Structure 1
Amino acid sequence: MSMRQIEPKQRGFLIVNSHPDGAAATVRRMWEDIPARADGRRPVALVLGHSAGYGLATLLAGLRQHGIRGVGVAFEGADNGRRTATAGWYRTAAVADLARETGGDFEFVNTDAFSDEGKKQLLDLVAERYGPVDYLIYSLAAPRRTDPATGTVHHSVIKPLGAAYEAPALDFSGTEPKVSRMRLEPGTEEEKDATVAVMGGADWALWVAALGERQLLAPGFTTVALTYVGSEVTAPVYRQGTIGAAKEHLEATARWVSASPAVQAADGRAFTVVAGAAVTQASSAIPSIALYTAFLRTVLDGNAFRSPAQQAMELWDQLEGRTPLVLDDAGRIRLDGWELDDQVQERVRELWADPETGLLKARPGADWFMSQVRELYGWGVDGVDYDQPVETDVTWPTTL
């Protein structure tokens, strides 16, 4: 037991501790935002990166509306007496409680999904408990990855390619949002390759191959990897930078996986899924994305801004055949039409042209962004009493 009163500890843009009750409350709120629906079929799903962002939203929508069974995978840190557990650890415990309360059959494993050992651990569990997998959801996000074949540790970087990038950014490290200026030097070829090794499709392909080797691809198997395109406003640092190179590799991997013998034998398919903008731990660290998202939220006045849960529901309906697939010319599933609407983007560009004045007009969006960043770690959540001691040493959920 580790009952203690805790306060947020922020270092620059990062919050380094999490509140268990606050993190759990964000999960319950997302769960309640997803209308319950009973389907006859209960597909088996393996969700890689289930504890945050779109991975979490896809897991909750799958549990709530489609009764998915299976395994979620994340790599989170426990309470160590000096620092709380990560928010993803606490969110996982909350999801497990909700799944159990509603009769769900889902396991959660804390391991390095990039490693051969992690893959074997997961596939042993899937084979023993569930059998062939209907859906592999790939939503892993990490700053580094060890190549299991060579042992090389690759580190991703967020840099433009070809030329330096200068742009406005949202400084939310203090109590009031403000516009700052940032400059990034272009990445090298080695940095681009390392980012592709971490964030591209290499590990996704290894997961599909491993499932095939274990005869764990169900008939009609579908795998999706979550990605982002975004606006021309942020393209120099995103789609045209080192991250964009990784995303292009991910998209090429989808085509390769779809054509692979194991997936073809299962009459399977693979897609990248282009989601819309969201406040996540990953996106909040990318320069300019925070300011762009604040402007976007203001332009859409909160009502037309689609949450990860709303997009996850739409994705599951497409995958399960309730609604037609929305594919672009590159064969990607698109969930971001609301964001890239021409009129919406024109209004965002108007704010971006004069960012200081734009921020004055977009203050509600900036305040919302800052509150969302705090909520990622369980802070500032309505209904949570932060003046009371809380148990920070929460057990990782397992029924094994």
Structure 2
Amino acid sequence: MPERVVSPSGRGFLLLDAHPAGCFESVAQMRAVVEARKDVPGPGPTALVIGSSAGYGLAATVAGLVRHGIRGVGIGFERPPGRRTGTAGWYRTIATDALARELDREFVFLNADAFADSTKAEVLDLVADRFGALDYLIYSVAAPRRTDPVTGTTFQSVIKPIGAAHTTKTLEFDSDGTAVLRQISVELATDQEAAATVQVMGGADWSLWVDALADRGLLRPGFRTVALSYIGSELTSAIYRSGTIGAAKQHLEVTAGRIGQRLTAVGGRALTSVNGAAVTQASMAIPGLALYLGLVHAVLGDDMQSPIEQSVRMWDQLTGAEPLDLDDEGRIRLDRWELDPSVRARVAERWESVTPGTAAELVDIEWFRTQFRRLYGFDVPGVDYSRPVETDRPWPTPR
């Protein structure tokens, strides 16, 4: 495919194309944040990262490669180039593969549906043949639907409140890019919708992965697995933590206990990691979160921790380089900076005060706009967006 100039176009928080050079540079900038540890023994631990192409899963992969020298497998589910460009995750995986090669780490990336039995079979064979067993499993999956491999039933996830409909403030962008503060109402989830969301976003698939690995004898002594979760503020709780997605996250946390019981056979441990708020493609689907994120950054500025910074802390704790920072329910807490009482109070004060006339003053709109566009490789410093780029890049092949 000939080179072409790629420009951002789309509606709302969905852009239709991604910029390859911007995606490559964003991975390079993530890598620059991470300092390699000097005390990593041997070839480094072996890890499987499910959801390695975007958001916190991508950050966990980059942080693990650079800081702890992980080897292993990453799974993403991305659209290849065609009439449109590939997805941002497609290009970021190419960049992450190049990083792994530069660091001389054997890491294989698969573009596949993590929910499918065929994917699990392929990954288990790959782990057995190339790595012998796993030390870590990072589970970071956000998906609209999942087909149960046993029953064949396809479940659809929704983002809705439970118990009562909910009206909230939200930040949107008009077609000309102007930021607009609006109120939106989200209808109550049915019992069936809530249950289906738990089936998609809860711990069922995470448990199946661990069971499959254990049944094949692919867990090394001391194996640890962590699924990424979120709690957030009371400002977003009605639509998130107390809603359908929150029910799924609670199921994920309950599942950690069940998985942990099975892992006693190898001296292992299952945990959930409560990460802080971030601009990700998954979070953009949550009503009200754009406004909340803009307010948090307006309050915290550079003290708002990025996914890559949090992933460094997560890996240090998982590997034992630093002690686990657990709450009373046994969850790793990487979000304490967000839920600090002073921060919560200042954000809440702005939330209550913000109006269409004061949004530009109280909300860091430009930061949020830039972060959102960077999800697709745009507005990344150091990239010349006037230059044509090759968009038809192949998925990386294993070495």
Contact 1:352 1:358 in 2 (8 A): no
Q: Is the 8 A contact 1:274 1:333 kept in 2?
A: yes
What is residue 275 of structure 2 aligned with on the other side? 275
1:292 matched to 2:289? The reply is no
CA deviation vs aligned residue, 1:87-127 (integer Å, no higher than 9, x gap): 00000000111111121111101111100001001111111
Superposition pairs for residues 1-400 of structure 1, below 5 Å? 1-38=1-38, 39-41=40-42, 42-80=44-82, 82-174=83-175, 175-260=177-262, 263-300=263-300, 302-356=301-355, 359-363=359-363, 365-400=364-399
Q: 2:13 and 2:141 mapped to 1: Cα distance?
A: 22
Is 1:295–1:359's contact at 8 Å kept on the other side of the alignment? no
1:161 Cα deviation from its structure 2 partner: 0.6
What are the superposed Cα offsets for residues 61-99 of structure 1, whole Å, 9 maximum, x if unpaired?
11001000100000111111x111010000000011111
CA displacement, residues 260-300 of structure 1 (integer Å, 9 cap, x when unaligned):
2xx11110000000000100001011001110110001100
Residue 17 of structure 1 aligns to a residue whose secondary structure is coil
3-state SS, counterpart of residue 183 of structure 2 = strand
Equivalent residue letter for 2:29: R
Q: Do the aligned residues in 1 keep the contact of 2:109 with 2:398 (CA within 8 Å)?
A: no
In angstroms, what is the RMSD of aligned CA positions?
A: 1.1
- Once residues 362 and 353 of structure 1 are traced to their aligned partners in structure 2, the CA distance between those partners, rounded to angstroms, is 11
Q: Secondary structure at the match of 1:137?
A: strand
TM-score by length of 2: 0.97
Task: Report the more deviating stretch, 201-210 or 314-323.
Answer: 314-323
**Cα displacement (A) at 1:60:** 0.7
Displacement of 1:138 = 0.1
SS in 2 for 1:338: coil
2:315 alignment partner AA: W
| Deviation (angstroms), 1:173 | 4.3
- Aligned sequence identity (%): 54
- Relative distance call for 1:33 and 1:173 in structure 2 (3 A) is farther
Give the superposition deviation at 1:157: 0.3
Quick one: which amino acid aligns to residue 270 of structure 2? A
Amino acid in structure 2 at the alignment position of 1:138: Y
For residues 355 and 151 of structure 1, the distance between their equivalents in structure 2, rounded to whole angstroms, comes to 47
Cα deviation for residue 358 of structure 1 reads: 5.2
What SS does the corresponding residue of 1:237 show, helix, strand or coil?
A: coil
Shift of residue 355, structure 1, vs aligned partner: 2.1
Paired with 1:252 and 1:359, the residues of 2 have a C-alpha distance of: 39
Whether the 8 Å contact between 1:49 and 1:140 is mirrored in structure 2 is: yes
Contact 1:351–1:359 (8 Å) recurs in 2: no
**1:168-205 CA distance string (max 9 Å, x none):** 00113442222111101110000001100100000000
Where structure 2 has 5 or more consecutive residues not aligned to the other structure, the ranges are: none
Cα deviation code 1:335-374 (max 9, x no counterpart): 00000000000001101112216523234x2211111111
Number of residue-to-residue matches in the alignment: 395
Give structure 1 stretches of 5+ with no counterpart: none
* TM-score, with length taken from structure 1: 0.97
**Equivalent residues of 1:78, 1:85 under 8 A apart:** yes
Alpha carbons 1:168, 1:355 under 8 Å: kept = no
CA contact (8 A) 2:34 2:63 kept: yes
**Would you say the 8 A contact 1:299–1:344 is kept in 2?**
yes
Contact 1:258 1:269 in 2 (8 A): yes
Amino acid of the residue matched to residue 25 of structure 1? E
* 8 Å contact kept, 1:33–1:309: yes
Tell me if the contact between 2:354 and 2:362 (Cα under 8 Å) persists in the aligned partners. no
Aligned partner of residue 257 in structure 2, secondary structure:
helix
Letter in 2 for 1:69: R
In structure 2, what is the Cα distance between the partners aligned to 1:16 and 1:213?
Answer: 41
Matches of 2:50 and 2:85, distance apart in 1:
23
For 2:398 and 2:192, the matched residues in 1 are separated by: 44
